[in-house]
């Protein structure tokens, strides 16, 4: 028990969220640099041309310069075991990101100092807010011209509706900040020139506000401005409140530059001090505490073919309670079966290693022969509970997808079904079309491109994608439980009648107006925007 509690106390599991280009990848890389997990940061100059940050692993990510999948990175720093879940910044992958956010205990929001709060940050922030997890803010790119720190604080408060508590404050003038004032330690940290282009840790000197000789090195105007700002924050700023921070109502805010390594170490250390250790989870049998000796975990991500050399599939689990041991037997609730967990893996980007044990907060990749689904619970054989369901996102774009070469149909079906199980897309069958073609539903356009790319690269199948004019999907049920078939629906021909992979009837419609018509003309039918039962 004591060992379990010690392991839990050490762990910090979080995601970094941001709008594309705010600096999430660079910051992740720098945290690894300071954590000693890598020795030279990649100095990502042009993300389009040479983007090989450690947390990207799929070919498509390198080619397009975006993060498609959520990677998991683990490293140790100052007695903590850190699990960072990288989330894709592109809006079309928001569903994957939402799932990742189900598996973390806190989030770091990276903001570009010049751009402030951008659209994708807003969306991701909303999901964190729904889960009431603590959110820490890192204002990045302070080496360049940007908005004034006070304006950024106000923007966070106005746009996101959350109060900010600056942990440190930049010293210098806009575009030339060269240090930070640490409000807790009441000291100043001045940074030496960055002569390694951000590849190495940056040297700095630290001195207290009482050290007159050291203070004398700072330009007097800069110093007077700093004193004014500190006074303003102390008198008019938000008060420190642990309770509000733990519920995501107050965000500790840090200033720095991931690229030139300024303020990064300070951020990392304070963050690790304040960020929550693995938290309890709700289940059908009540709250599950992390130090409950009985093991439990849930699947939050499934990914096939991470290593093209082995056509394997991994289910990523987040451990919620107890100790995980290699070859342990667990109960898989959704399949109602006892299974053995062999070949568990952990990650540092491309390097994976087989692990023997893991603790609450850790992410483990399990070899998946096709049995797991997103949101599934596995737990000690003596327990039989289920964790709360994952939110399902209604698809908004639809296309007919078929194999270009009919001889490749078997491969096509295998590939598309596997990618559906990963949760990359949703699959529907139109009665009468057999398995010649499928209707694929996604949340965003880019998912079709990923589908096309992955089917070609991983299954060697070229596909033809024909976009369909629908924007709305509704799962159909009669009030009295009778079977819904096209004939029982007035106006079924106004849309497309299809079945999902669990054989539930679904109607695809052009727009909300058609939906209104169907709803008005079929009073006995209940329309659900997500599958009615899971
Ligand atoms: P992501 O899309 O949020 O992962 O952003 P990246 O980490 O890939 O960064 C986007 C671009 O901003 C890259 O060209 C980085 O080199 C650059 N960048 C990241 N951090 C900083 C910073 O602190 N200062 C400056 N000037 N550029 C930065």
**What is the structure's pLDDT at 192?**
78
Q: Mean of the pLDDT values across residues 245-260?
A: 94
Please state the rounded mean pLDDT for residues 130-137. 93
Strands (E), 141-196: 163-166, 168-171, 179-182, 187-191
Does the beta carbon of 437 lie inside 6 Å of ligand 1?
A: no
Q: Which range is least confidently modeled, 41-50, 197-206, 297-306?
A: 41-50
Q: Is 166 annotated as a binding residue?
A: no
Mean per-residue pLDDT, 56-71: 44
pLDDT given for residue 196 in this prediction:
66
Give the model's confidence band at 106: pLDDT under 50 very low, under 70 low, under 90 confident, else very high.
Answer: very high
Q: Is the model more confident about 67 or about 28?
A: 28
pLDDT 10s digits, 498-519: 999 889 999 999 999 999 999 9
* Of 378 and 62, more confident: 378
- Ligand 1 pocket residue status of 198, Cβ below 6 Å: no
Of ligand 1's listed atoms, the one at least distance from the Cα of 51 is 8
Task: Quote the pLDDT of residue 86.
Answer: 72
For residue 477, pLDDT over 70 is answered with: yes
Q: Rounded mean pLDDT of 263-286? A: 93
Please work out whether the CB of residue 283 comes within 6 Å of at least one atom of ligand 1. Answer: no
Per-residue model confidence (pLDDT) at position 43: 35
Å from CA of 521 to ligand 1 middle: 53
Task: Say whether 362 counts as a known binding-site residue.
Answer: no
User: What DSSP element (H or E) covers 339?
Assistant: strand 337-340
Ligand 1 and 55: CB distance under 6 A: no
Is the pLDDT assigned to residue 2 strictly greater than 80? yes
pLDDT at 121 over 50: yes
Ligand 1 pocket residue status of 279, Cβ below 6 Å: no
**Could you tell me if the CB of 23 is within 6 A of ligand 1?**
yes
Q: What is the DSSP letter of 487?
A: G
Q: State both tokens at 533.
A: 């039962």
Mean pLDDT of 175-185: 90
Best mutation site among 31, 259, 260, 262 for ligand 1 pocket (most ligand atoms within 8 Å of CB):
259
Answer whether 201's CB lies under 8 Å from 262's CB.
Answer: no
Closest residue CA from atom 25 of ligand 1: 141
Please choose from 15, 17, 21, 23 the residue to mutate so as to test ligand 1's pocket, defined by most ligand atoms within 8 A of CB: 23
> Residue 313 pLDDT more than 60?
yes
What is the Cα–Cα distance from 30 to 33, expressed in whole angstroms?
5
Q: Is the pLDDT of residue 453 over 60?
A: yes
The single residue listed with the structure tokens 């991931």 is 258
Residue 272 Cα to ligand 1 midpoint, Å, equals 23
So what's the pLDDT on residue 374?
A: 85
> Is 136's pLDDT higher than 90?
yes
- Please give the ipTM for the structure prediction: 0.99
pTM value is 0.80
Q: What is the reported pLDDT for 334?
A: 85
Is pLDDT above 70 for 92? no
Q: Is the CB of 68 under 6 A from ligand 1?
A: no
Q: Please identify, by atom number, the ligand 1 atom nearest to the C-alpha of residue 29.
A: 7
Residue 367, pLDDT above cutoff 90:
no
257-271, 286-300, 438-452 — which one is most confidently predicted on average? 286-300
Sorting pLDDT into bands at 50, 70 and 90, what band is 37? low
- CB of 18 within 8 A of CB of 121? yes
The pLDDT, as a whole number, for residue 71 is 62
CA 53 to ligand 1: nearest atom: 8
Mean per-residue pLDDT, 139-158: 94
Tens digits of per-residue pLDDT, 413-428? 999 988 888 777 899 9
528 labelled ligand-binding? no
pLDDT band at 45 (very low <50, low <70, confident <90, very high): very low
Kindly report the average pLDDT of the chain as a whole number. Answer: 85
User: 493, 487, 496: which is closest to 525 by C-alpha?
Assistant: 487
Q: Are 8 and 360 in contact (CB under 8 A)?
A: yes
What pLDDT sits at residue 51?
Answer: 37
Q: Check the annotation: does 276 bind a ligand.
A: no
CA distance 425 to 451: 8
Q: Is 47 in the pocket of ligand 1 (CB under 6 A)?
A: yes
Q: Is 112 in the pocket of ligand 1 (CB under 6 A)?
A: no
CB-based burial label for 506 (10 Å; 0-12, 13-18, 19+): buried
> 321 in the Ramachandran plot: left (φ > 0), alpha (ψ -120 to 50) or beta?
beta
Task: State both tokens at 487.
Answer: 């004939």
Average of per-residue pLDDT across 33-47: 52
Ligand 1 in reach of 368 Cβ (< 6 A): no
CA 73 to ligand 1 centroid distance, Å:
19
Q: How far is the CA of 263 from the centre of ligand 1 (A)?
A: 15
Q: In this model, does residue 210 exceed pLDDT 90?
A: no
The share of the chain scoring above pLDDT 90, in percent, equals: 47
DSSP structure class, residue 408: G
* Ligand 1 pocket test target in 17, 22, 26 with most atoms within 8 Å of CB: 26
Structure-block tokens of residue 509: 């419609």
Please report the pLDDT score of residue 209 as a whole number. 85
Res. 494: pLDDT tops 50: yes
């Amino acid at each position: 028990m004591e060992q379990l509690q010690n392991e839990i106390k050490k762990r910090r599991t979080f995601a970094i969220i941001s709008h594309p280009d705010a600096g999430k990848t660079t910051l992740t890389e720098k945290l690894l640099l300071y954590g000693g997990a890598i020795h030279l940061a990649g100095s990502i100059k042009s993300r389009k041309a040479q983007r090989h940050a450690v947390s990207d692993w799929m070919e498509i990510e390198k080619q397009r310069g975006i993060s498609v999948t959520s990677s998991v990175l683990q490293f140790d720093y100052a007695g903590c075991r850190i699990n960072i879940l990288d989330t894709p910044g592109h809006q079309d992958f928001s569903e994957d990101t939402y799932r990742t956010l189900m598996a973390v205990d806190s989030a770091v929001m990276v903001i570009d100092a010049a751009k402030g709060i951008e659209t994708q940050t807003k969306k991701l922030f909303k999901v964190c807010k729904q889960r009431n997890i603590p959110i820490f803010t890192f204002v990045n790119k302070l080496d360049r011209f940007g908005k004034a720190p006070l304006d950024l604080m106000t923007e966070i408060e106005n746009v996101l509706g959350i109060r900010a508590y600056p942990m440190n404050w930049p010293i210098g003038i806009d575009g030339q900040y060269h240090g930070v004032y640490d409000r807790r330690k009441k000291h100043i940290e001045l940074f030496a020139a960055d002569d390694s282009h951000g590849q190495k840790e940056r040297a700095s000197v630290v001195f207290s506000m009482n050290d007159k000789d050291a203070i004398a090195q700072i330009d007097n105007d800069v110093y007077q401005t700093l004193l004014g700002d500190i006074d303003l924050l102390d008198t008019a700023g938000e008060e420190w409140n642990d309770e509000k921070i733990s519920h995501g109502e107050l965000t500790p805010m840090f200033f720095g530059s991931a690229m030139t390594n300024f303020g990064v170490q300070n951020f990392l250390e304070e963050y690790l001090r304040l960020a929550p250790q693995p938290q309890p989870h709700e289940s059908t049998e009540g709250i599950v505490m992390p130090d409950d000796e009985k093991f439990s975990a849930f699947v939050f991500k499934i990914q096939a073919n991470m290593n093209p050399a082995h056509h394997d599939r991994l289910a990523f689990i987040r451990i919620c309670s107890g100790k995980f041991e290699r070859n342990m037997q667990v109960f898989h609730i959704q399949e109602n079966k006892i299974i053995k967990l062999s070949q568990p893996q952990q990650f540092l980007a491309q390097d994976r290693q087989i692990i023997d044990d893991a603790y609450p907060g850790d992410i483990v990749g399990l070899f998946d022969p096709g049995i797991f689904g997103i949101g599934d619970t596995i737990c000690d054989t003596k327990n039989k509970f289920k964790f709360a369901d994952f939110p399902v996102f209604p698809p908004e774009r639809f296309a007919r997808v078929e194999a270009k070469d009919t001889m490749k149909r078997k491969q096509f079906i295998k590939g598309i079904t596997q990618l559906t199980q990963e949760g990359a897309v949703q699959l529907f069958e139109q009665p009468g079309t057999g398995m010649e073609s499928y209707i694929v539903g996604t949340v965003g356009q880019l998912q079709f491109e990923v589908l096309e790319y992955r089917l070609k690269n991983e299954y060697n199948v070229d596909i033809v994608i024909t976009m369909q004019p629908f924007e709305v999907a509704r799962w159909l049920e009669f009030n009295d439980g009778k079977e819904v078939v096209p004939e029982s629906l007035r106006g079924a021909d106004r849309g497309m009648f299809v079945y999902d992979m669990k054989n539930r009837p679904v109607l695809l419609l052009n727009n909300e107006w058609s939906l209104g018509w169907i709803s008005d003309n079929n009073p006995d039918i209940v329309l659900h925007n997500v599958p009615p039962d899971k």
